[in-house]
Structure 1
Amino acid sequence: MNYCEKIRQSMIDGDDDSVVKYIKKSLLSGYDPKYILKNILIDALSLIARKEEKNECLIPEVLLAMQAFKSGYKVIEPYLKEKEKDYDIIIVMGTVQGDIHDLGKNVIKIFLETLDVKIIDLGTDVPAEKFIEAIENYNANILMMSSLLTTTMSEMKKVMDMLEDRKLRQRVHVFIGGASVGESFREKIGADCYTESVVDLLDYLKKNMARIKENS
């Protein structure tokens, strides 16, 4: 039986029970858990993300696929765990103060969890000071902020100003995202990166990871 295709299709269908069942069977058959994660689960989630960007699927379908991914990831996670270690890349992420939307942030977090990074998720409605405290406390070198509301965009500028005041800006690479922001706003506040999709974000990270490590 082709478990790879069964897992992939179950992911796309948002059938988390079947995802779990076929992953367990594939592991018993000797499949590499890293292969299942990178070449099946992430590929399927990337496909859903691209469809969502093109308005070819609905938000409920995205949510079901995300849940299926999480269920599958829980099964293979024990096979992937390594001893506690020091990470070269530490990411602080959250939705800015006044905004409680987290769908986009949570989708990005799922993808980031498959990389060799440590993630500090501050959740939603995060005050500027809390972003700064987390960066200092965890010695983070990446900050990811999201805002879906035009009324909360100014919070990103507040965080950027605080990074400058605390002399943290040079060592922290800042990503911004969300429906209310774009490339022109990124330039205006002096952030480092804005991408329109999670796929573009991952491509940017992979290309610039070494440079980010060197600057931190």
Structure 2
Amino acid sequence: MLEAAGVAVFALTGALVAVRKGMDPFGFILLATVTGVGGGTLRDLVLDRGVGWVQAPSDVIICTIVALAAWATAYFRPGMLDGWMGKRMLVWADAAGLALFAVVGTQKALMAGVPVLSAVALGAVTASFGGILRDILAGDRPMVLWSRDFYVTAAATGAAMTAFLSGLGISPPLVMLGGIAAGFGLRAGSILLGWSFPNLPGSGSA
């Protein structure tokens, strides 16, 4: 359930980028699907398990529905998903997807018997990879490279909190909420309040 929510949210970010690029419906579907399943695909390959969306098409169906809904909205309500509003929706949907996938990726790695530090790293990678693919395919600078924003750091924080709470034997719903709150909270602070690491001596903004 949590992974399906992450797929849908990340697929929405891909569709929002497709709006800005003026793509056709199939472009929407491609970008939404790559974004929605990209991180999970890499996670499953690293864990040497069957890739989820290949074995069961539910994630692809979710991405397709989200993509077509976004295309129809953009077509019948021009400007609604573009401009300033579209950019804000993209940033916040990406933050939500980042937090969700950081938790899911870490939980699945732990369940597969991966060491804790490796599980945290895999959670961060799961959370980041789909967005990186989206931005590269769209010809944009990946969000992960935006100045000194907390991005991978936010994903790693959510993943680390998930692993920490899991190690304490806390109930899965509370582990999920704690991991999401940690990852999303740090990313939100970076977006709203400019939280970031300081510049390296002698360097400017990236």
TM range, smaller chain: under 0.3
With the length of structure 2 as denominator, give the TM-score of the two structures: 0.27
Larger radius of gyration: 1
Structure 1 or 2: more helix by fraction: 2
